[in-house]
Amino acid sequence: MTVLEAPRLRLRPLTAADTDALLAYRGDADVCRYLPFPPMDAAEIARRLETQWFRTELAADDEHVTLGAELRETGQLVGDVILFLKSRQHGNGEVGWVFHPSVAGQGYATEAATAMLDWAFGANGLRRVVARLDARNDSSARLCERLGMRREAHLVENEYFKDELTSELDYAILSREWAARRDGAAAG
């Protein structure tokens, strides 16, 4: 079972006991505005717990692991992070995150995404990880930049998303760039 530690967070598999906490943010229309799913209800969360969020290791292409981000001090679930294995052959993955708005601006998403990238490049041996986001999602773009990801593309009006034509930003970082960044942080 994959459990990752961050300074103030523990990233661990989601369970049915998390349903109310998941509903509090994944059921919020404002939170879901730029995410590739509508607000979730309890039935959808139960379905995903049984069919998508059970995985704790990346064994094959197109699999993903979603880990809940809980506060180490209290055990409160405040968000979740996801890592997709896009191609084992090419060493490509994709990272994403969603957090309760009550913890916005407190650095939890940065801590969780950092731990997930450490896991992506470490235990999973990935070479490159991307983050794809709605171009209007300023907070996620800033998070990508804090993580040291470079903006590689701005796809203008590239798809209909939730019944409107939208643009996409693609960010990426290579394992060697991540290692240099982490080595620099440890030395500082």
pLDDT > 70 in the chain, percent: 98
Mean pLDDT for the stretch of residues 153-159: 95
Helices (H), 27-163: 29-32, 42-51, 108-121, 138-146
Q: Which residues contact 40 (CB under 8 A, 6 or more apart)?
A: 22, 23, 26, 27, 32, 48
Instruction: Tally DSSP H helices, then E strands, for the chain.
Output: 6, 8
Question: What are 134's two structure tokens?
Answer: 């709605």
pLDDT beyond 80 at 14? yes
Nearest 10 degrees: Cα torsion 182, 184, 185, 187: 120
| pLDDT of 186 over the 80 cut | no
Kindly tell me if the per-residue pLDDT of 22 is higher than 80: yes
Does the pLDDT at position 188 exceed 70?
no
Three-state DSSP state, 164: strand
Domains, the chain, ordered by start: 4-187 (3.40.630.30)
**Confidence class of residue 187 from pLDDT cuts 50, 70 and 90?**
low
User: What's the rounded Cα separation, in Å, for the pair 66 and 133?
Assistant: 17
Regarding predicted confidence, which is higher, 78 or 36? 78
Reported as a single tens digit per residue, the pLDDT across 60-92 is: 999 999 999 999 999 999 999 999 999 999 999
Listed range (26-35, 56-65, 135-144, 176-185) with the worst mean pLDDT: 176-185
Answer with the residue of higher pLDDT: 33 or 186: 33
Alpha-carbon distance 59 to 6, whole Å? 24
> Which residues are 77's β-sheet partners?
70
Confidence of residue 182 (pLDDT cuts 50, 70, 90): confident
Query: What is the average pLDDT value for the chain, to the nearest integer?
Result: 95
Does residue 21 register a pLDDT over 70? yes
For the segment 157-168, the average pLDDT, to the nearest whole number, is 92
What gap in Å lies between CA 179 and CA 118, rounded to an integer? 9
Name the H helices within the chain.
Answer: 19-26, 29-32, 42-51, 108-121, 138-146, 175-187
Report residue 32 as tokens: 């879901």
